[in-house]
Amino acid sequence: MGSDKKSVLTVVVVGVLMAAIDTTIVILALPTIDAYFHTSPSISIWIIMAYILVLTVLSAQVGRIGDRFGRAKMYNYGFLIFIVGSAVCGLSTSILMLIGARVLQAVGGAFLSTNSSAVVSDHFDPHERGRAFGYTGMGWNMGAILGIFLGGVLTSINWRLIFLINVPIGAVILPIAFRKVKDVIEKKKERYDVAGSIVLGVALTLLTIMAIFAMTEGLTPHIVEFLGVAAILFAVFGILQRREKAPTIDPGIFRNRVFTLSMLAGTFQFIATFAVLFILILYLQGVRALSPLMSSVYLLPGYIVGGLLAPMSGRLSDRIGARVPATAGLLLIALAYFLYITLLTPTSPLYYILIITLFTGLGSALFFPSNLSAIMAHAPKDKYGMAAGVNRLLNNVGMVLSFVIALTIISIAIPRSVALAIFTGTQIGVASGSVFSATFTKGLDAALLISIVIILVSAVMSAVRGKEDRRALARE
């Protein structure tokens, strides 16, 4: 790996690590933020949801912007916006200002996260990307671990520090990014699809906001109506893309079997798995009466294993393709969820969770770098930003749907408001020793069972994606 490649990968890994820290660190700080601003979980949860909303809405658009104006340039400016947004978050004087600052931070995060995959693909050949994405996977897992510990430590000092910690890191990395991360391919000189971007943005905004309301209120008639409007707008968007010479999402990129099935496998994986962290926290905090920090500690082994093994898994996919390691990873995750259902009761030993997370960590290490490298290896070279944007868009939609499905099932056992309060740490032990603890646990089991079904669908898509020859792709 040349020195320029090392510099690029270092900057990208640090960016991914910062984004991961910011995800887990905020969850642990919500009770403190609630108390400081005298608000409630139904309001403060938007500190997380506003971030997800903006990422979902902007992902495809910023990928397309990167293809047109330079993916490295957009990555670097995204890094800058992310740092500025972090500073404003840390200096917020009201809950509304904090949520607004998170929107600004998410704009930077969208440019940062979407273009990171494209930047790696620009600088690494197809048979090198698995290992490169393995290191970004390591950055994500290590960031999640640091977020857990820093969230506990910094929140006990001052909650503002969980955002302000990004500023000195950015001050060190940003100059390196602007000096070393450069565009290596010619920018595309074509007009921007304004109409398509607007229609897609409105459709995604409606879809995401209604999905978030469905999490807290259930599928009311008004929510269903707005989702219907979103569906119509998606259909209009599809028609516009077929007629547009320079579309926001080119339908032609889906003609490649490996690309399309890899992207679908990733989407279903997110639908199946993203809310499982939420489910486990509900169990640990609601049934076992653990604090948010201690609950997170029990999930650490999976993050550690996932981070350490991701580069090796990525290297394996460079040699044999993504089909075998990615599919094996999905099956390991499904096995872990089955073990959760089988072994976890209101009184089972908590070390069971420590052991089971090793399976999820290994499964994630096998799946993520392999699958992402397959997506980017089979994307057109002039559309890396578009491909990365569509992938990020579908992953974000998967995350939101994962929460909706999990909360809908769990709400059969407990009220949605109680589930959110447990998740944000404002109600600890609500089901501990109570008469409905067994019912509560069964609700969590039902959500996990649905996750197993969905992840098996993902595994089938992964298994039938086809063989790859990464070195042959590099020669094309």
Cα 253 to Cα 169: distance, rounded to the nearest angstrom: 37
**Confidence at residue 358, expressed as pLDDT on a 0 to 100 scale:** 94
Tell me the residue type at 40: S
Which are the contacts of 12, defined by CB distance < 8 A and separation ≥ 6?
Answer: 75, 116, 119, 120, 136, 139, 181
Contact 265, 378 (CB under 8 A): no
DSSP assignment string, 231-289? HHHHHHHHHHHHH-SS-SS-GGGGGSHHHHHHHHHHHHHHHHHTTHHHHHHIIIIIIS-
Most confident of 181-190, 212-221, 244-253: 244-253
- Going from the C-alpha of 253 to that of each of 189, 387, 471, the distances in angstroms are 19, 8, 20
pLDDT in tens, 77-118: 999 999 999 999 999 999 999 999 999 999 998 888 888 888
pLDDT in tens, 298-349: 888 888 888 888 888 888 888 888 899 999 999 999 999 999 999 988 888 9
**Confidence at residue 117, expressed as pLDDT on a 0 to 100 scale:** 85
pLDDT in tens, 247-305: 888 888 888 999 999 999 999 999 998 778 777 877 887 778 787 678 778 888 888 88
Say which DSSP state 187 is in.
Answer: P
Average pLDDT of the segment spanning 379-384:
82
How would you classify residue 230: left for phi > 0, otherwise alpha for psi between -120 and 50, otherwise beta? alpha
Q: Is the pLDDT of residue 42 over 80?
A: no
Average pLDDT of the segment spanning 169-174:
90
Q: Is the pLDDT of residue 9 over 70?
A: yes
Q: Is the pLDDT of residue 443 over 60?
A: yes
3-179+249-475 classified as CATH 1.10.150.570: no
Q: How confident is the model at residue 379 (pLDDT cuts 50, 70, 90)?
A: confident
Cα 263 to Cα 257: distance, rounded to the nearest angstrom: 10
> Global pTM?
0.83
**Confidence at residue 290, expressed as pLDDT on a 0 to 100 scale:** 80
**Confidence at residue 430, expressed as pLDDT on a 0 to 100 scale:** 56
Percent of the chain at pLDDT above 90? 26
**Confidence at residue 113, expressed as pLDDT on a 0 to 100 scale:** 82
Q: How confident is the model at residue 2 (pLDDT cuts 50, 70, 90)?
A: very low
Instruction: Compute the mean pLDDT over every residue in the chain, rounded to the nearest whole number.
Output: 84
Average pLDDT of the segment spanning 124-152:
81
Nearest Cα to Cα of residue 161 among 12, 21, 277: 21
pLDDT in tens, 190-215: 677 788 888 888 888 888 888 878 77
**Confidence at residue 187, expressed as pLDDT on a 0 to 100 scale:** 64
Domain residue spans in the chain?
3-179+249-475
For 332, the token pair is: 């390991």
Average pLDDT of the segment spanning 425-453:
72
Q: Is the pLDDT of residue 34 over 50?
A: yes
